[in-house]
Amino acid sequence: MIRLRVKEIALARGLTQGGLSRKADIDVKTLRRIFRNPTEIVTTETLDKLAIALNVDASLLIESDPPLPKTVEVGQAEE
């Protein structure tokens, strides 16, 4: 399952839901859902807006829960 790390990163940066909502130009209700349910389905557009507002790469906003084993790079054979 994919989990969003928006809440943790926002809190670490001292941003409230309202502040992040305004900075990312995202409806506060949407952000509230993401904070309450980190497995909430979001669009790539929303993810991009949040990444820009938090000044992080979008890949840092998502993680596998539980963590999955690392995969083989494309074009490399498994050993």
Residues 21-34 have pLDDT tens digits of 999 999 999 999 99
Instruction: Write the single-letter amino acid at 12.
Output: A
- Mean pLDDT score, 45-73: 88
Q: Token pair of 18, please?
A: 């309202």
Host H or E run for residue 4:
strand 2-4
Question: What domains lie within the chain, and their CATH numbers?
Answer: 2-64 (1.10.260.40)
- Under the banding of pLDDT at 50, 70 and 90, the label for residue 70 is low
- Under the banding of pLDDT at 50, 70 and 90, the label for residue 48 is very high
Instruction: Write the single-letter amino acid at 7.
Output: K
Q: What is the pLDDT of residue 65?
A: 78
